Structure 1
Amino acid sequence: MMMKTSLLCLLVLTSLLCCKTHQAHLTINPSRYEFFQGESVSLSCEEDNSSAGWTVRRETTYRKSTCGDGWGKVEGSVCSITYVFKIESGKYWCESREGAASSSIQLTVTGTTAPSNLLAAYSKDGSPIRTEPAGHMTLHHVTSSDEDLYKCRIGSHGESPSSRISVSGQRNITAEPGDNAILPCRADENKDVIVVEWRRTDLESDQYVLVYRDSQFFREGQSPSFSNRVGLLDVKNGDVSLVLKNVTTDDTGTYECRVVQGGNNRWKRSLLDIEPICIIPLRVEPGNQDGGNKDGLKEDGGNEEKQKADGGIKDGGTKTGLVVSYFVLLWFFLLMLL
């Protein structure tokens, strides 16, 4: 009996050893669970048996998804996010091809702005302009001479990427329903584009028209009305113009373009606090197909022809009357001779 029991225990132990799964764990760099929007973060799956094919997955308020599916860059078992958004707060974990999952961690991303008691030193094309509190500067009565690259530094908090300001008259874009509209906007073509964000001013604060990051389009939080209808013209060459396909009258509004470009220093601030580099009003309305006016012109033409016809009748009557009078006078003259 004891031999049977020992044999059974040995079989169970052997089964457990044979069926042991290799467990991965998720590592974060920097090693913390809270981030400010705009920071970079790398997540990697570390496990002895690399053949398991572990990937990083997450669950946010929007959906469950895998790194590379609209967010993050995949390099082996490492998932890198260049510029993390607040809406990317959620649960992250590693998952193998076989469906095994590691324990999850909770990442929190919060927005931040420059403290109001700190002074920001602004520069234009590398030359200092002035220092302003509250982390923003306003240019009044701008002219074409204000066009240039601007950036700012806040003490030990770091330096912002350069942003180009273009000065021009406000450009209104008009389109008809069904057209493809292009809303023009250009970034500095000499610097890599990290993030492009297009918004419409009347949308909810947590919705956007388009967000481009890490060479792919970010879908979470996009307004459903723009899904699969928007794109960018030529990001690699700095042309971040918005392409809006098959427009409708509901697309009418004012659109704003914001861009974050490359630089070794990341400025830890909210994307929404960045001033737009382009503001483009779009008006979508049916074309001027005023059939009533055209019909009116035709009717006027008909009246004109009628007037000509009437004129012909009047002229004909006058000519007939003159001929009759001539014969009457001739007949009267002959009678007098007789």
Structure 2
Amino acid sequence: MNVLVLMLTVLNCLSKASERTFPRIVPSQLQFLEYTNLTVTCEGFFNDMIQWRVLRKDEKRNRRTSCNKNTDAFGACHIEALYPSDSGEYWCESDDKRRSERVQVTVTVTDVILESPVRPVTVGDHVTLRCIKRKKLKPSTKFDFYKDGVHVNTSSTGEMILHNISLSDQGLYKCNVSEKGFTKENLLQVKAVLLELPDRPVLEGENVTLFCRDKMAASNYTTFFYKDDEMIGNSSSGKLTLNKVFKTDEGVYKCQTSEDRESEEQWLAVRGGNSFSTSDVSGVTHFNMFYLSGLIALPVLLFVLVFIYKKYKGPPVTNEEDEAKYTALTKRDTSLYHELKPPNSTC
């Protein structure tokens, strides 16, 4: 059973995309109405073999605290009913003090909020902003959207779609419903540079290639690669290869182009050389199928053998029946012996 659980864990790890350094917010938004619920999880934070907890900064007391009521609890944090006091920065942290990026969550007592992406978006994406009211309120026919304090759009549906987004779309957004006023502002971050890492944790000894693409740069530009905020190399081809990685190569990576634009940070996880590979998983699968088949077949085989044994052995004979048969047989043999015994026999 332990082997089966380990196998499923490995499969789950291999199916994940590149591990990121942002906590996951559910629902995916930064503003929340009072009394609604919130879940903060760190799936893919560093790697699945490291325990992590969700922490937050208490804005009122200006101190950090655990998101969970049990301060020693690891894993996701779920808040069933939000209050303004739950506003603040949320992040993930492991036992060895590795930290993710921080996400600013705002809980408001007003009746309208702005829903926007939690993470930075990429140049060329299509982004939807939504102005959301409490369900109990009357329907509205006019929603106004603002960027950096300037009116940019009016909508009858409460949605504003930014097509083929560019760096100029980055900024502070808010919306307004005439009878309920303005929402708080959300920062929409736009990235033109993409850093591509392997879509799985890598094993020690593997060669790992990092790819960096600037969607807005000219054809010729220099790329600088960083690990834990320290430059580790540069390239004119937009790629950097890490030869035979070790556990010390695990960390937060990003890239920056000569156009002074940088990518979002990403976590590269490195597992020990004795970790399972894809072929190992296949072997474990075959082993478990054989093992489980044996566990199922053994009781059935024992039942069949017992049934056959009882059927052909016949009904059990009691001790009284044995004694009676033995006595009758003895008397009959004695009579027969006396009839056949020679006259002069001394036996």
TM-score, normalised by the number of residues in structure 2: 0.26
TM-score, normalised by the number of residues in structure 1: 0.26
